[in-house]
Amino acid sequence: MATSPHRPPAGLSRRSLLGGAAALAAVPLLSSCVGFNTSGGKAGSLDFLSTQFTPVEEKQRFEKVLADAKVNAAYNAVEGNVFASTLTSQAEAGSVQVSLAGAMHGELAPLADRFTDVDGLLKGKLAQAEYPKDLLELAKAGGSTAKYIPWMQASYVVAVHKRALEWLPSGADVNSLTYDQYLDWAIAARKANGSPVFGFPAGPDGLYARFVQGHLLPSFTGGQVTTFRSADAIDAWKYMKELWANFVPASTNYDNMQEPLAKGEVMVAWDHIARIIEAPKGNPDEWLLVPSPKGPKGLGYMLVVAGLAIPDGAPDPDGATDAILSLSEPDVQIEVLKQNTFFPVSVTELPDDLEGATKLAAEAITAQREAKDAIMALPPVGTGERDGEVTAVFQNSFRQICLDDRSIKSVVDEQAAELQSILDDLKIPCWAPDPAEAVCEVG
Amino acid sequence: MTTSDTAATPTRGNSAALRAHRWRRFGVQVACLAVTAFMAIPIYLIAVAAFSSRDALNEFPRALWPSDLSWDTMGTFVSSTGILPAFGNSLIVGVNTLVWSLLVGAPAGYALARYAFRGREPYQLFLLFTRALPIVVLSVPMAQLFLSTGVYDTTTGVTLLHTALALPTTVLITAAVFVAVPRDVEEAAQIFGCSPFSAFVRVVLPLALPGVSAASIFTFVLSWNEVLGAAVLTLNRRTLPGQVLSTLQYSPEAYRFAGGFALIVPAIIFIALMRKYLLNMWGTTLR
Amino acid sequence: MAATQVTEVAPRRRRIPPVVWLIAPSVLFMAALMGWPTISGLIQAFKTGDGFGFDNFARMAADPFFWPAVRNTLLLIVILIPVQFALALGMALLLRAKPKLSGLYFYIWAIPLAVSDLAAGLVWLSIFTDHGYLNSFLSHLGIDGVNWLSYDSNTSMFFAVFIAELWRATSLVLVIVVAGMQGIPKDYDEAAQVFGASYWQRLRHVTLPLLRPSLQVALILRTILAFQTFAVAQALTGRDFPVLVGETYNWYVALRNPSVASALALVILAISMITAIVYLRALRDPSDKGGKR
């Protein structure tokens, strides 16, 4: 198809423009409306942006909790990245539209500078609430004043399908396992079953880094950062490598454990309580939820906390404050526990009318917290925007040691250097279980 | 290799050629069926999954046919907050994107096809350049741009983004289409007294319609399925994938299949509507 | 709006060539909308603590996922795209032979075009997981399944991603090729037939050269889009089978480091542009005198 240049009559341009203009006139008919509201807010509702309760059923149950608590909010549940970029771009453009932000500590902390101070609220109307001290410290996000109000908490436990109990090593108590017994159990189960039955959330959105940060390292070394390169840490990784060899290989695709558990691909798995709870929900009699195993130094476990914050320049700060007060009411907090298995932070007494899977979860969490050798660990505090990079240090350590089969010593040294360079920039104190030194250093 | 052709009907006396012809037809059918199986089975499976109960999905081995039909997950999914309005938003954005990208892109495609001008290749590369940057890097500065101009969280904003994403494809596809329309028919029409514009509308456009509809299908589908940018540019007026796929990411599998299936259905309908334009040159009639 | 701007620039006695009228709207539209985001992305990639430099690129290359991601991306493009084109061309030729039900076939073959990559990832995940449909099917036949998506088997992961991408994106090529084929007048083919050319000769010397513009478009689009999609690989393999765009997304989202993400985006941009230029040159119509000298 050769095309040779030729000069068409000038009429072409003007006439085609006229035609185009006629077509353009039809467009406004289509685009006259700016779209339909999809967040279910009624007139005068405030924009509530959150990273929690994204699964469709949880979202519906929480929207009902909001309605019953007389909170008129358009509840938008989004992924962490959308949460961060929405708040960031709104703040930078100087036109904030979100009045209330609810997310995990690790998601709020990087944005702490963009939130209104809520110290006054904690010391005023919420002075009666029984917040644990650690949570109030966490809420400062590395600063000197509270940037968010603690909203709810959760932790990580082990789910066990009762069929797996037949392979439990003799003399082991499933409600008080040691890591050695956990490994022996995994090996026995694999041999008896012909293929592994223990799983691990090592998928792209899986929380395996939290296992390393809050469970494995504290239990073996008593610390998270200051003991990162210790001989104990090397032992911990040797153990992890052995354990990994007895996990279902598909674990690298598991973002949450409730589905493989429910499907029977996996019978025993550690994960976040909210990512396990769907498995025993339908048939709680067939399941156990037990505390995480203990290591040489004690029972390391990670505490998860979500908070509520008010962005600077929010269109409706008063409405947001009222919403926070409503969501902090003890009965609303208990309702959230019953509906979505997130535990209260403003009350310490749990009701005794819990049922089914929620009851199992409450018992496991309480047993874990009250174990005499419990070591509470927190997700990194005050790392702000670098939070993701700190998490990546623990993820990469796991992947390189267990998946790529590299030398433990050299991986730990490399990643320690990486972690140290991040901490050098930040100059922050350490967080639990490490002692709160003036400046945190990798040990 | 024989020299006879599938389209040529052999004469009656030539029985060997007739047999070969039949065999060839049979071979074509078998090949078509094989490709169809590869294309259709995954769609069939997601439909089965969308209408299976949760317990059925958890069984192993899974049934490969709908053993116990259940409307539970689909029902819960459709009735959950914002799905229907989001469906409307996606439709508005998709249709607007289609119209806009054709209005802005087709003239440029025609120019690429009909005129030799300096800067042709740089122009094509400029278009592709805009498309080669990952959306995730573009979306945050774009959200700031939209916040300051007031189109943030409207279907207009998403339409603008999608039009920008679809323009390179629209321009390139329409250019390829207009090149294939012989120039002499256009000139003949002008000799017979049509103005260049009416020659274009009466002669070129009908011939180019299949290609233009291919471009529109592509544009609509691109808009319908784009989620990363739309999720950053909206808050209370989400498009369907923004509302569905991002929020269903952590939902139970049954819901994810329901959501996936719900996304596929409208696009299937859209392709069914556009198909006849694609096939009109073959004179194939479909019932 | 576009019109007024152009007329102001142009002196009255010289007529603006129609090409400008035709092309200006798209250029203005793209510049207005994409200009600032693109520039801010470029700046970000070279920005370091207190000035400009290549620190972000160094960090990008030091990441353990970077080189595997480059390898996998190129592997997918080098193997997937030729197979895809052969398949799409074969499908278009099958349709041209006008079998019975060809309309229905074409319709079904075009459907994956309408399936978003996220949904496609879901579909194939339901097939390839350990307890998915494929292993269920094998188990109905009495065969033990395979862990297709196992992290230590690059081959089977690549196979899964390859099949899923083949399913997802072949329709795009098919639709463009079919549209191009319909633009080819029948008489060329018939004339060649009269002169006794075989089917394969006609395909090689008549059909394919006439399809050149369509193939060129399809090839460029497909390649550039191949660099853009990662949802399928992500859904099937997480980060066990990293690809470049997925890594960009990860730096931006999980690591909150837009600078390194922008650096990666520039690498993707560079590779796609080089590929596009090579294709544009290689497939240029020899009789086409347009373009630069």
pLDDT in tens, B176-234: 778 777 788 888 888 888 887 888 888 888 878 777 877 787 788 888 888 878 877 88
With contacts defined as CB-CB under 8 Å, which chain C residues touch A404?
Answer: 64
Contact C252 A248 (CB under 8 A): no
Interface residue of B104, B174, B194, B250 to substitute, partner A, most A CBs within 10 Å: B250
What tokens appear for A361 in the block?
A: 């979860």
Regarding whether B125 and B38 lie in a shared domain, the answer is no
What tokens appear for C153 in the block?
A: 């088997």
Regarding whether B52 and B96 lie in a shared domain, the answer is no
State pTM to two decimals: 0.81
Single-letter amino acid code for the residue at A94: G
Q: Is residue A77 part of a domain?
A: yes
Of B42, B71, B100, which closes a domain?
B71
What is the DSSP track for A267-304?
SEEEEEGGGTTHHHHS-GGGEEEEPPPBBTTBEEEEEE
Q: Tell me which residue of B214, B207, B221, B234 sits closest to B264, measured CA to CA.
A: B221
Q: Tell me which residue of C181, C180, A23 sits closest to B201, measured CA to CA.
A: A23
Determine the residue of chain C that is closest to B105 in CA distance: C26
Using CB atoms and an 8 Å cut-off, which of residues 256-285 of chain B contact chain C?
A: 256-257, 259-260, 263-264, 267-268, 270-272, 275, 278-279, 281-282, 284-285
Average pLDDT, chain B: 80
Q: What is the mean pLDDT of residues B75-82?
A: 76
* B231 lies within 8 A of chain C by CB: no
Regarding whether A279 and A186 lie in a shared domain, the answer is yes
Identify the domain containing residue A103 by its residue range. 46-154+304-365
Beta bridge partners of A158: A270, A290
Q: Is residue B276 part of a domain?
A: yes
Q: Is residue B76 part of a domain?
A: no
Specify whether the CB–CB gap between C277 and B125 falls below 8 A.
Answer: yes
* A263 lies within 8 A of chain B by CB: yes
With contacts defined as CB-CB under 8 Å, which chain A residues touch C3?
Answer: 17
Regarding whether A237 and A317 lie in a shared domain, the answer is no
* C90 lies within 8 A of chain B by CB: yes
Specify whether the CB–CB gap between B72 and B53 falls below 8 A.
Answer: yes
Identify the domain containing residue B239 by its residue range. 82-281
Regarding whether A121 and A247 lie in a shared domain, the answer is no
Q: What is the mean pLDDT of residues C222-244?
A: 83
Q: Is residue A11 part of a domain?
A: no
Residue A243 vs residue C235, higher pLDDT: A243
Q: In angstroms, what separates the C-alpha of B127 from chain C's closest C-alpha?
A: 8
Q: Is residue A280 part of a domain?
A: yes
Using CB atoms and an 8 Å cut-off, which of residues 202-241 of chain B contact chain A?
A: 231-232, 234-238
Q: How confident is the model at residue B277 (pLDDT cuts 50, 70, 90)?
A: low
Regarding whether A339 and A316 lie in a shared domain, the answer is yes
Q: Is residue A433 part of a domain?
A: no
Q: Is residue B173 part of a domain?
A: yes
Q: What is the mean pLDDT of residues C17-27?
A: 88
Element (H, E) at A299: strand A299-309
Contact C150 A386 (CB under 8 A): no
Give pLDDT, residue A5: 40
Q: What is the mean pLDDT of residues C237-254?
A: 85
Q: Is residue A312 part of a domain?
A: yes
User: H helices within C66-101, ranges in order?
Assistant: 66-75, 81-96
Beta bridge partners of A152: A306
**3-state SS class at A309:** strand
The 10 Å Cβ neighbour count of residue A425 is 11
Contact A203 C253 (CB under 8 A): no
Q: How confident is the model at residue B278 (pLDDT cuts 50, 70, 90)?
A: low
Element (H, E) at B267: helix B253-279
How far is the CA of A158 from the CAs of A268, A290, B5, B28, B274, in angstroms? 7, 5, 68, 56, 53
Q: Is residue B286 part of a domain?
A: no
| pLDDT above 60: residue C32 | yes
- Residues in chain A where the model's pLDDT stays below 50: 1-32
Give pLDDT, residue A17: 46
Of A334, A365, A396, which closes a domain?
A365
CB pairs under 8 A between A and C: 83
Q: How confident is the model at residue C1 (pLDDT cuts 50, 70, 90)?
A: very low
User: H helices within chain C, ranges in order?
Assistant: 2-9, 18-46, 55-62, 66-75, 81-96, 102-110, 117-128, 133-140, 154-182, 186-194, 199-202, 208-228, 231-237, 244-253, 258-282
Q: Which residue has tokens 């196992």?
A: C150
Regarding whether B155 and B252 lie in a shared domain, the answer is yes
Angle in degrees, CA B272, C177, C187, rounded to 5: 105
Using CB atoms and an 8 Å cut-off, which of residues 150-209 of chain B contact chain C?
A: 160-161, 163-164, 167-169, 171-173, 175-177, 179-182, 207
Regarding whether A226 and A84 lie in a shared domain, the answer is no
* C177 lies within 8 A of chain B by CB: no
User: How do A299-309 and A374-377 pair as beta strands?
Assistant: parallel
CATH number at residue A199: 3.40.190.10
With contacts defined as CB-CB under 8 Å, which chain C residues touch A425?
Answer: none
Q: Which of A38, A79, A89 sits opposite B86 (nearest CB)?
A: A38
How far is the CA of C141 from the CAs of A235, A290, C124, C127, C287, in angstroms? 45, 39, 20, 16, 57
Average pLDDT, chain A: 87
Phi first, then psi, for residue A295 (nearest 5°) are -115, -175
Phi first, then psi, for residue B246 (nearest 5°) are -70, -35
Give pLDDT, residue C218: 83
Give pLDDT, residue C287: 54
Regarding whether A388 and A241 lie in a shared domain, the answer is yes
Per the structure, the count of domains in chain B is: 2
pLDDT in tens, B92-127: 998 999 999 999 999 999 898 888 888 887 888 888
User: H helices within A32-102, ranges in order?
Assistant: 56-68, 80-92
**3-state SS class at A366:** helix
**CA–CA dist A67, A73 (Å, integer):** 8
Give pLDDT, residue B245: 60
Q: Tell me which residue of A36, C75, A114, A84 sits closest to B136, measured CA to CA.
A: A84
Give pLDDT, residue C2: 39
Residue C101 vs residue B262, higher pLDDT: C101
Q: Which residue has tokens 């009965």?
A: A331
Q: To the nearest 10°, report the CA torsion of C131, C135, C136, C137.
A: 160
Which of the residue ranges B92-96, C111-115, C215-219 has the most confident prediction, judged by mean pLDDT? Answer: B92-96
Burial zone of B49 (CB within 10 Å; 0-12 exposed, 13-18 middle, 19+ buried): buried
**3-state SS class at A287:** strand
User: How do A268-272 and A149-161 pair as beta strands?
Assistant: antiparallel
Q: Is residue A443 part of a domain?
A: no
CATH number at residue B238: 1.10.3720.10
| pLDDT above 70: residue C150 | yes
Regarding whether A297 and A309 lie in a shared domain, the answer is no
Specify whether the CB–CB gap between A325 and A173 falls below 8 A.
Answer: no
With contacts defined as CB-CB under 8 Å, which chain C residues touch B107?
Answer: 21-23, 25-26
Contact C25 B104 (CB under 8 A): yes
Q: Is residue A85 part of a domain?
A: yes
Give pLDDT, residue A4: 38
Q: How confident is the model at residue B136 (pLDDT cuts 50, 70, 90)?
A: confident
Query: For every residue of B205-231, which 3-state class applies, written as one string?
Result: HHHHHHHHHHHHHHHHHHHHHCCHHHH
Q: Tell me which residue of C248, C29, C112, C111 sits closest to B165, measured CA to CA.
A: C29
What secondary structure letter does DSSP report for A165?
G
Q: How confident is the model at residue C137 (pLDDT cuts 50, 70, 90)?
A: very high
| pLDDT above 70: residue B3 | no
Regarding whether B102 and B233 lie in a shared domain, the answer is yes
Regarding whether B141 and B211 lie in a shared domain, the answer is yes
Q: Which of C175, C213, C273 sits opposite B180 (nearest CB)?
A: C213
Q: Which residue has tokens 């009416």?
A: B198
Per the structure, the count of domains in chain A is: 2
| pLDDT above 60: residue B6 | no
Q: In angstroms, what separates the C-alpha of C104 from chain A's closest C-alpha?
A: 32
Q: Is residue A178 part of a domain?
A: yes
What tokens appear for C165 in the block?
A: 């991408």
Specify whether the CB–CB gap between A374 and A298 falls below 8 A.
Answer: yes
* A108 lies within 8 A of chain C by CB: no
Task: Name chain B's partners: 3 or more CB pairs within 8 A.
Answer: A, C
Contact A264 C131 (CB under 8 A): yes
Task: Name chain A's partners: 3 or more CB pairs within 8 A.
Answer: B, C
